[in-house]
């Protein structure tokens, strides 16, 4: 036999074997299609169906999964409880320490004159309340003090003999005193002038508050005019921390919200503060809202300009919540598996709200006291989806077999 003849014989044999295999496959598929599975048979009980060992797949459209106690332990399934509890969350943000603007004053004389002496002579100097900052020579104040002295002497010499009746000279003393007060001369200087009968050459300008000189604009020999700012003093016993809060967290931060402030200069130390102001406008460039926190600055540990890390404690309302691990998010859905009893775990579609700390708010889909799965949800979800897919495939297979049986010449043989 030639080589070509042998090749033709092998080819014919292969074609015969392939045709026989195809015919056998068609006959087997026809037999299975015309023989539906027994009613009520569970997916997990069918020998040819894949799935977790011993796990019964759902037989209805609920997607529930049936597990035994041993399987629950084997798969590491844990449970939690849906409960109502206060939503006390935390918002972490960064901020900058700043001077409290309500504790800042400017020192400006109400009269013109010349600087004779500068006592507070550098920026950053601590000053006490009532401490003399600068001494000014003012012709206007000096002449008014001399008028006060003259009016006082005249009043003593022409005192009225009738008790309780004042003379016009006494009124002149009161008028001169009032003019000096309006010019900013303190009562101590006025009383000392009346007691000594000598008008001082210079008038001191004192600090109205205790604090730190943040700006100094005066030198010795300088000519100053009425209303000219000489010093800016800031009380640093309390400071502001301006915090930038993200748009997503802006609704949770309100006036009165507590805050913990940390700065790099105090590692491990925390200062307590309170939100005293929330900016009504949002910065469009950064999509943030500025919240102002007032913090006591005992010992001057905080310095304006420092960067701070702030933990805002928000919340306070009560809501139905579950542990974050209980919620399975599948893109457009949120699912929680609920223990229905007897080892049956059923997925529930839920509508979630805010997530605060370790808990997620549930707006609908669950009730208080429901026992929910907090681990292995993705395993359960995949098994539930597998059961739905297999049930759909069986339904399609039965429909296809019925259609095939209705075709001419394809009726099943009857005994």
Q: Are residues 214 and 326 in the same domain?
A: no
Task: With respect to residue 144, please indicate whether it lies within any of the assigned structural domains.
Answer: yes
Across the chain, which distance is largest between two alpha carbons, in Å? 167
Higher pLDDT, 64 or 306: 306
pLDDT digits (tens, 9 = 90+) for 96-144: 999 999 999 999 999 999 999 999 999 999 999 999 999 999 999 999 9
pLDDT band at 49 (very low <50, low <70, confident <90, very high): very low
> Which of the four pLDDT bands, split at 50, 70 and 90, describes residue 394?
very low
Instruction: Calculate mean pLDDT across residues 75-91.
Output: 84
- Which of 316, 344, 377 is where one domain is finished? 316
Domain range for 31 is 3-48+396-405
Boundary of a domain, candidates 204, 234, 264: 234
**φ, ψ for residue 294, nearest 5 deg:** -95, 125
| Same domain (yes/no): 208, 245 | no
Highest mean pLDDT among 160-164, 306-310, 330-334: 306-310
Residues 199 and 94 in one domain: no
Cβ pair 212, 236 in contact under 8 A: yes
275, 364: one domain: no
Q: Of 298, 316, 334, which closes a domain?
A: 316
pLDDT confidence bin for 64, thresholds 50/70/90: confident
Residue 60 belongs to a domain: no
Residue 302 resides in a domain: yes
**How would residue 378 be classed by pLDDT, with cut points 50, 70 and 90?**
low
> Parallel, antiparallel, or unpaired for β 288-296 and 238-246?
antiparallel
Q: What is the pLDDT of residue 52?
A: 46
Answer yes or no: do 108 and 168 share one domain: yes
- Higher per-residue pLDDT: 349 or 166: 349
Note whether residue 415 is domain-resident. no
Same domain, 149 and 209: yes
Give φ, ψ of 357 to 5 degrees: 65, -125
Closest by CA to 362, choosing from 90, 77, 84, 88, is: 84
Mean pLDDT of 253-258: 88
Q: Are residues 109 and 225 in the same domain?
A: yes
**Number of structural domains found in the chain:** 4
Find the CATH number of the domain harbouring 387.
2.40.420.20
Q: Which residues contact 161 (CB under 8 A, 6 or more apart)?
A: none
pLDDT at 267: 85
Judgement on whether residues 109 and 206 belong to the same structural domain of the protein: yes
pLDDT tens digits for 167-201? 555 588 889 899 999 998 988 889 999 999 899 99
pLDDT in tens, 69-81: 888 888 788 899 9
Span 29-44, average pLDDT = 50
pLDDT attached to residue 400: 45
Is 215 within the bounds of a domain? yes
pLDDT one-digit tens code per residue, 211-231: 999 999 999 999 999 999 999
If you average pLDDT over every residue of the chain, what do you get? 79
**By percentage, how much of the chain surpasses pLDDT 90?**
39
Higher-confidence position of 17 and 154: 154
- Answer with the residue of higher pLDDT: 217 or 38: 217
Of 35-39, 232-236, 338-342, 360-364, least confident by mean pLDDT is 35-39
- Which pLDDT score is estimated for 132? 93
In 3D space, the residue among 238, 240, 253, 239 whose CA is nearest the CA of residue 92 turns out to be 253
The confidence score (pLDDT) of residue 19 equals 58
- Three-state SS letters, the chain: CCHHHHHHHHHHHHHHHHHHHHHHHHHHHHHHHCCCCCCCCCHHHCCCCCCCCCCECCCCCCCCEECCHHHHHHCCCCEEECEEEEEEEEEEEEEEEEECHHHEEEECCCCCEEEEEECCCCCCCEECCCCEEEEEECHHHHHHHHHHHHHHHHHHHCCCCCCCCCCHHHHHHHHHHHHHHHCCCCHHHHHHHHHHCCCCCEEEEECCCCEEEEEECCCCCCEECCCCCCEEEECCCEEEEEEEEEHHHHHHCCCCCEEEEEECCCCCCCEEEEEEEECCCCECCCCEEEEEEEEECHHHCCCCCCEEEEEEEEEEEEEEEEEHHHCEECCCCEEEEEEEECCEEEEEECEEEEEECCEEEEEECCCCCCEEECCCHHHHHHHHHHHHHHHHHHHHHHHHHHHHHCCCCCCCCCC
Do 148 and 30 lie in a common domain?
no
| Six token digits for residue 25 | 């496959």
Q: Report angle CA 299, 101, 94 to the nearest 5 degrees.
A: 70
In a domain, 59, yes or no: no
The answer as to whether 81 is a domain residue is: yes
Residues 208 and 300 both lie in one domain: no
Per-residue model confidence (pLDDT) at position 134: 95
CATH of the domain at 291: 2.40.30.170
* 412 occurs within a structural domain: no
């Amino acid at each position: 036999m030639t080589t070509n003849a042998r090749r033709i014989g092998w080819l014919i044999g292969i074609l015969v074997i392939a045709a026989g295999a195809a015919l056998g496959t068609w006959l087997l598929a026809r037999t299975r299609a015309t023989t539906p599975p027994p009613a009520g048979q569970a997916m997990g009980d069918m020998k040819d169906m894949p799935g977790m060992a011993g796990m019964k797949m759902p037989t209805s459209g609920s997607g529930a999964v049936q597990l035994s106690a041993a399987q629950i332990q084997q798969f590491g399934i844990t449970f939690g409880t849906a409960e109502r509890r206060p939503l006390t969350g935390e918002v972490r943000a960064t901020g900058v320490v700043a001077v409290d603007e309500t504790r800042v004053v400017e020192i400006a004389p109400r009269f013109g004159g010349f600087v004779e002496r500068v006592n507070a002579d550098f920026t950053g100097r601590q000053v006490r309340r009532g401490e003399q900052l600068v001494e000014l020579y003012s012709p206007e104040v000096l002449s008014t003090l001399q008028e006060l002295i003259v009016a006082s002497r005249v009043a003593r010499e022409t005192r009225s003999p009738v008790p309780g009746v004042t003379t016009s000279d006494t009124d002149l003393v009161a008028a001169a005193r009032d003019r000096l007060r309006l010019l900013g001369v303190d009562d101590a200087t006025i009383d000392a002038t009346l007691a000594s009968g000598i008008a001082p050459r210079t008038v001191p300008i004192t600090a109205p508050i205790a604090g730190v000189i943040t700006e100094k604009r005066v030198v010795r020999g300088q000519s100053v005019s009425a209303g000219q700012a000489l010093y800016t003093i800031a009380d640093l016993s309390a400071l502001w921390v301006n915090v930038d809060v993200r748009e997503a967290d802006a609704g949770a931060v309100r006036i009165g919200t507590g805050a913990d402030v940390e700065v790099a200069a105090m590692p491990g130390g925390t200062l307590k503060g309170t939100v005293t102001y929330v900016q009504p406008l949002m910065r469009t460039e950064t999509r943030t809202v500025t919240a102002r926190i007032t913090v006591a600055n005992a010992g001057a540990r905080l310095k304006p300009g420092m960067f701070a890390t702030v933990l805002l404690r928000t919340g306070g309302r009560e809501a139905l919540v579950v542990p974050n691990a209980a919620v399975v998010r599948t893109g457009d859905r949120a699912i929680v598996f609920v223990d229905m009893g007897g080892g049956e775990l059923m997925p529930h579609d839920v509508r979630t709200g805010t997530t605060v700390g370790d808990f997620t708010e549930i707006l609908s889909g669950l009730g208080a006291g429901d026992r929910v799965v907090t681990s292995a949800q993705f395993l359960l979800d995949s098994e539930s989806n597998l059961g739905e897919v297999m049930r759909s495939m069986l339904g399609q297979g039965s429909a296809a077999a019925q259609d095939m049986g209705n075709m001419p010449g394809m009726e099943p043989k009857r005994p």
